[in-house]
Amino acid sequence: MDEANVHLNEDRNMTDIQTREAAERALSEATTGGAELAAIAEEHRELWPQVLQHPNVYADLTEWIVRQAPELQETLSAAAPTSAGSRPRRRGLVITLSSIAAVAVIALIAVLFLVPRHGNSLLDRLAMLPVPGDVSIYSVSITDTARLEAAVGEPFPVGGDENDIAYWLSLAGIDFSTRVSLLPAGQLFATGGLEYEASAAVTLMKMSLTEGQSILTAYEGSFSSQRLDTALSQSQQGVWQQTAQSLWSIVDGTLYNASTILTDPMSALPEHTPTRDASLALDTDTVTLLSILEHAGAYTYSVTHSTDGRISAPRYEPYLGPGEDLIHTWGWGFGVNDDQQPTLTLVNQFDSADDAAANTATLERILTSDAPQNAGVESHWTTVQDGQLLVTTVTLVSGRVSELYNFI
């Protein structure tokens, strides 16, 4: 088969795999590639055994399937050897292909979404956002979609309607907040779940006495203007308006959302992605704390930094020792442990290791006073010191994940 026919075959698979018959036909062809297999795995869970047995299934796609369906481990004994591949395709990177008419455009967009993006390290994610500038307090938050989907137990229903999203939220336990902490359901409905179609969302929130609150979020992944037209509205000069104070735009290939309170959100949208030396990637304290929370397995995590010497966590002030700037950076991260118990990791950065050591017992008393006292709620925690850092892990043994907010 010549190269042109191979590409035509790939285009057909990309556009038709949403039907089971076409997916089964693709699985019967030895030329079906890894990207098509990942798309089939996403659309047709019932065909996972056949995907595992295909000669072109790659190692990380195999791991992704078996992690969600351990009972298929036996299928691997009959499968062909897997080739070394990149990370499993994340459902959060897929758009609704049926919304694109031209086959050539579909193929191009499908490749962009199906082929895993490399370079999404913490520093690369932070490099999407500029330094905060002259503000008194700012926070940086990250939501990792793949980790969130793993915590929920199902991929987010990309391209789904409100019923699909509502069902996914029910799996997450959103009605009773039993396992995970999520965006408000109303926000997801308003945008068609756009936020969780990215492999990660990175948010910079700034507080200024003169300009009030400003929030800028960058979404890791590829998004088409057609997708934003569907989720929001028709753009005006490359800008999509969600509300009067919330605007979206694709800047140098990166999707941004800006929202403000006192100022025009257009002023918060970047004209270009920042250069690395003018981005959050060079914010050492923020990077340090976010790294700890990332390594703790958090699916959503945040760090707050005070630039004017005040304590970023003011509720600690009555308990801590002398001085108002003992804590200048602090963070939290929600996760789910191997026992499917909700966890919260807290990180407090003191000015020195001595300050951290002197306030360890005090922090334990704060945690004790913050612990929920509701009937049926049980939690426990451990605190360790690492230089000028105090890192606390809280595990919710029983109760709702919202109980963990008492510790933040």
Same-domain pairing of 58 and 79: yes
**Based on C-alpha coordinates, what's the Rg of the chain?**
23
**Contact present, 198 and 257 (Cβ < 8 Å):** no
- Domain identity same for 338 and 208: no
Residue 377 structure tokens = 């709620």
Domain end among 223, 242, 275: 275
Per-residue pLDDT of 346-376, as tens digits, reads: 998 888 888 888 888 877 777 777 666 666 6
How does pLDDT run across 297-347, given as a tens digit for each residue?
Answer: 999 999 988 776 555 444 555 555 554 446 778 899 999 888 888 899 999
Q: Work out the percent of the chain whose per-residue pLDDT is above 90.
A: 20
List pLDDT tens digits, range 317-327.
555 555 444 67
Number of domains observed in the structure of the chain: 3
Among residues 255, 242, 241, the alpha carbon closest in space to that of 200 is found at 255
Per-residue pLDDT averaged across 186-207, rounded?
82
3-class SS string, 274-311: CCHHHEHHHCHHHHHHHHHHHHCCCCEEEEEEECCCCC
pLDDT of 8? 30
Q: Extract the runs of DSSP E, i.e. beta strands, from 274-355.
A: 300-306, 327-336, 342-350
Q: How many whole angstroms from its chain centre is CA 291?
A: 15
Out of 88-102, 143-157, 192-206, 260-274, least confident range: 88-102
What is the model's pLDDT at position 275?
93
pLDDT at 187: 67
**Do 270 and 130 touch, CB atoms closer than 8 A?**
yes
User: Do 48 and 9 sit in the same domain of this protein?
Assistant: yes
Assess whether 86 and 204 both reside in one domain.
no
12: β partners? none
Give 24-33 pLDDT, tens digit per residue. 888 888 878 7
Whether 130 and 265 map to the same domain: the answer is yes
Nearest Cα to 136, choosing from 214, 201, 202?
Answer: 214
On whether both 39 and 132 belong to a single domain, the answer is no
Q: Both 238 and 185 in a single domain? A: yes
Same domain, yes or no, for 248 and 325?
A: no
Task: Please write the tens of the pLDDT for every residue from 219-262.
Answer: 998 888 888 888 887 778 889 988 888 899 999 999 999 988 77
Q: Which residues contact 57 (CB under 8 A, 6 or more apart)?
A: 34, 37, 51, 79, 80, 82
Residue with token string 């426990």 = 380
For 196, the token pair is: 């969780």
| pLDDT at residue 281 in the model | 93
Is residue 126 located within the same domain as residue 109?
no
Structure tokens at 243: 């509300």
Q: Which of 275, 293, 309 lies at the terminal end of a domain, its last residue?
A: 275
**Residue with token string 């000069």:** 237
- pLDDT at residue 18 above 70? no
Give CA separation, 294 vs 138, 197, 203, 205, in Å: 19, 20, 15, 19
Total number of residues shown for the chain: 408
Strand order in the sheet with 200-208: 239-243, 246-251, 254-260, 212-220, 200-208, 137-144, 300-306, 327-336, 342-350, 389-398, 378-386
Averaged pLDDT score across all residues of the chain: 74
**Inter-axis angle of helices 3-16 and 20-27, to 10 degrees?**
140
Q: For residues 344, 350, 352 and 356, what is the CA-based torsion angle, rounded to 10 degrees?
A: -50
State pTM to two decimals. 0.67
DSSP state of 273: P
Residue at which a domain ends, from 209, 240, 275: 275
Mean pLDDT of all residues in 143-162: 85
Does residue 131 sit in the same domain as residue 264?
yes
Question: Looking at the structure, do residues 358 and 387 belong to the same domain, yes or no?
Answer: yes
Give the contacts of 399 (CB within 8 A, at least 6 positions apart).
Answer: 372, 374, 376, 377, 378, 379
What is the phi/psi pair of residue 304, to 5°?
A: -115, 135
Indicate whether 170 and 232 sit together in one domain: yes
Domain boundaries, position 309:
283-407
Q: Using CA atoms, how far apart are residues 209 and 216, in angstroms rounded to an integer?
A: 18
Cα–Cα distance, 299 to 43 (Å, whole number): 24
Which CA distances in Å does 397 have to 42, 152, 277, 378, 379?
32, 17, 43, 5, 5
In the predicted model, what is the mean pLDDT of residues 50-62?
79
Q: Using an 8 Å Cβ cutoff, are 76 and 62 in contact?
A: yes
